[in-house]
Amino acid sequence: MAHHSTYLNPKHNVLSLDQLHLNEDIRERINQLLEEFTYINALNNLNIPVDNKILLYGHTGCGKTATAYAIGHALNKKVIAINLSGFVSSKLGETAKNLSELFKKASNDNAILFIDEFDFIGKLRDYDEKDSGEMKRLVNTLLQLIDNLPDTALLICATNHLDIIDTALLRRFQIRLRYTLPTEDDLNAYYDSILAGFPNHLNSIKRSYGISYAEAKDSIHQQIKANVIKFEKQKKHLLFFYDTPELEALQRHYYGRKLIGTEDTLSGFKLKDSKLNGIFLPDKNSAETSRIAIKSKEEGDKLTGMVSEITGEELVLTDRLTPPNSQRILATTNSGTEVWVYVEKNEF
């Protein structure tokens, strides 16, 4: 089969059914399904078939795909998933063959075959006359495959457009579950559950309604990321300056202000000449040789410098100003202050 690109894999860890935000009707029907498969032998002894053909339909982003994987997790069954719109070959005869192989694999493995965008098969009305015969044969093949699916396997199909699916196909599904947009109360509970995993100083967001769970989650993450970035930019850091020009004009050029700090020393380091300027705030007019800090084994070696408070945004700016031969590390000054300091790369 040459359609591996159409196979669907869950983007994140598979959620359990309890973690999904399902309405009571859907939850009850799925619980019934799980119990049928739990007691499938007892039902088979009475020649009562289990419901193993399920159609999930409704608004996008409301949990149809997540439900298919959650059912697989609950029943300990492998999920074989495809996106039908990308699976249908330009040679329709090949599509029928490939579908047959997938149904056979699901049957042999007692697995779940999950077909997303199932409505694509119902678009046969849109095909021109020369293709309509092939499409009808494809639908007939699919009908036969569905009818012959053993009880030990499941077929779960998902669609956002129920109205365009062939009625003969629709009749094959014993279970049809409709997914609708969550209510305002549902979304508030969903917002609360996600925001509970973030610190209070980050979880101030604007809540939107009349959207799906997927859209709500995207909105939350976008706003949280913006809050994280804003917080990190404003966060205070202590930076140890050494061998740095103390020209106020130079500081204002790079930081937009004069830096205020206190003198301090840092033991266990010394300076060496560097062809690259290991110190930020490069003064192009200075003829002095640039120097960079390195680890020293000599007792008594120490750096003398100034400890200044800068913001996270200014720290990122400083990182960009430093050359490739330097790196920023945490160190403790002789006064007991934890600071960032730039040293020669590969020294640590």
pTM over 0.85: no
| pLDDT tens by residue, 260-306 | 889 999 999 998 876 554 444 555 554 455 788 999 888 889 999 99
Same structural domain for residues 159 and 195? no
Q: pLDDT band at residue 11, thresholds of 50, 70 and 90?
A: low
Q: Is the pLDDT higher at 253 or at 131?
A: 253
CA distance 103 to 302: 73
Beta-carbon contacts of residue 63 (< 8 Å; ≥ 6 apart): 20, 21, 22, 179, 213
CA distance 22 to 16: 11
| pLDDT tens by residue, 120-161 | 876 544 444 545 666 777 888 899 999 999 999 999 999 999
The pLDDT value recorded for residue 278 is 45
Same structural domain for residues 221 and 244? no
Asked which of 150, 179, 208 is the last residue of a domain, the reply is 179
Q: pLDDT band at residue 250, thresholds of 50, 70 and 90?
A: confident
Same structural domain for residues 252 and 296? yes
The token pair at 345 is 């790369």
Same structural domain for residues 63 and 171? yes
| pLDDT tens by residue, 154-204 | 999 999 999 888 888 999 999 999 999 999 999 999 999 999 999 999 989
Q: Which domain range does residue 274 map to?
A: 236-344
Same structural domain for residues 137 and 174? yes
* CATH classification of the domain holding 297: 3.10.490.10
Q: What phi and psi values does residue 304 have, to the nearest 5 degrees?
A: -110, 130
Same structural domain for residues 173 and 188? no
* CATH classification of the domain holding 146: 3.40.50.300
Same structural domain for residues 154 and 15? yes
Same structural domain for residues 202 and 327? no
Same structural domain for residues 100 and 150? yes
Indicate if the alpha-carbon torsion angle 267, 268, 271, 275 is positive or negative. negative
Same structural domain for residues 11 and 156? yes
Same structural domain for residues 36 and 123? yes
Q: What is the mean pLDDT of the chain?
A: 85
Asked which of 156, 179, 202 is the last residue of a domain, the reply is 179
- What is residue 109's DSSP assignment? T
Same structural domain for residues 197 and 213? yes
By mean pLDDT, which of 8-22, 227-241, 282-296, 328-342 is the weakest? 282-296
Q: How many structural domains compose the chain? A: 3
